[in-house]
Amino acid sequence: MDIEITPGGITDVDSLAPLWMAMVEHHRAVVAGRVPVRPAPDAWERRRREYVSWLQDGSGLLFLARREGADEVIGYAMCRLLPSGPTFDLGPVRGDVESLAVSPRARGAGVGTALLGAVRAELERRGCRHWSISVAADNADAVRLYERVGFRPLVHMMHAPLTG
Ligand SMILES: CC(C)(COP(=O)(O)OP(=O)(O)OC[C@H]1O[C@@H](n2cnc3c(N)ncnc32)[C@H](O)[C@@H]1OP(=O)(O)O)[C@@H](O)C(=O)NCCC(=O)NCCS
């Protein structure tokens, strides 16, 4: 498939809804009832507000994937520019890939890899020296992709429910 990656802006955010909601459903399947997952429309409403605010304040970088010559967005990556914390010296600003989603029909055809390549090129152009991505521990397919791109585990977030 010939894939076209372009930068996106606030006016593109609404077109991300189906891709985001498909990713929420994918997470629901991955955690298999062990962690509550919000209904996809609620999750989208929250995320949409965040995307708009990140794009408004300049901390968000959005990339859109389309089949060459087509209008439909079949995947996207949202990356944030974040200050590095006090312990790990990741440079003044690191890139954190907040979301990577590809439409279920288009998965496995190189779209996610192309989106990560575009994010990486932009971060390097801006002088970032490190980037990160979070992934559910059980999302083995995504972990395999991220390791192929060069990511390695750094922090394990551990979770437990608190029940009376
Ligand atoms: C993860 C995801 C963004 C990867 O995009 P993609 O376009 O399918 O990936 P590519 O075609 O560039 O690379 C293929 C690799 O992606 C990974 N992958 C993850 N989920 C996959 C899926 N459902 N189908 C195919 N490949 C998948 C595999 O490592 C695969 O490599 P393999 O050939 O060794 O199996 C996409 O599959 C997706 O949206 N999955 C559901 C949501 C999700 O898990 N998002 C990541 C949250 S951290």
Q: What is the CATH number of the domain that holds 82?
A: 3.40.630.30
**Is the pLDDT score of 164 beyond 70?**
no
DSSP code of residue 31: H
- Whether residue 160 lies inside any domain: the answer is no
Closest approach atom of ligand 1 to CA 133: 48
pLDDT for the residue 85: 87
Into how many domains does the chain fold? 1
- The single-letter code of the amino acid at 156 is H
Domain presence at residue 54: yes
Domain assignment present for residue 155? The answer is no
- Look over the chain and give the mean of its residue pLDDT values, rounded to a whole number: 96
Distance 57 CA to ligand 1 centre (A): 30
Query: CA 20, 102, 23 angle in degrees (round to 5)?
Result: 35
Give the whole-angstrom CA distance, residue 120 versus residue 107. 20
3-state secondary structure of 30: helix
User: Which amino acid residue places its CA nearest to atom 20 of ligand 1?
Assistant: 141
Let me know if residue 105 belongs to a domain: yes
Domain that holds residue 34: 3-149
d(CA 58, CA 81): 8
Rounded distance between C-alpha atoms, residue 97 and residue 79, angstroms = 4
DSSP state of 88: S
- Rounded CA-CA distance 139/50 in Å is 24
35 domain residue, yes or no = yes
- pLDDT score of 46 more than 70: yes
Atom number in ligand 1 closest to CA 113: 12
| Mean pLDDT on 63-81 | 97
Strand partners, 66: 4
Residue 8 falls within a domain, yes or no? yes
In a domain, 17, yes or no: yes
* Per-residue model confidence as pLDDT tens digits over 115-146: 999 999 999 999 999 999 999 988 999 999 99
Q: Does 154 reside within a domain?
A: no
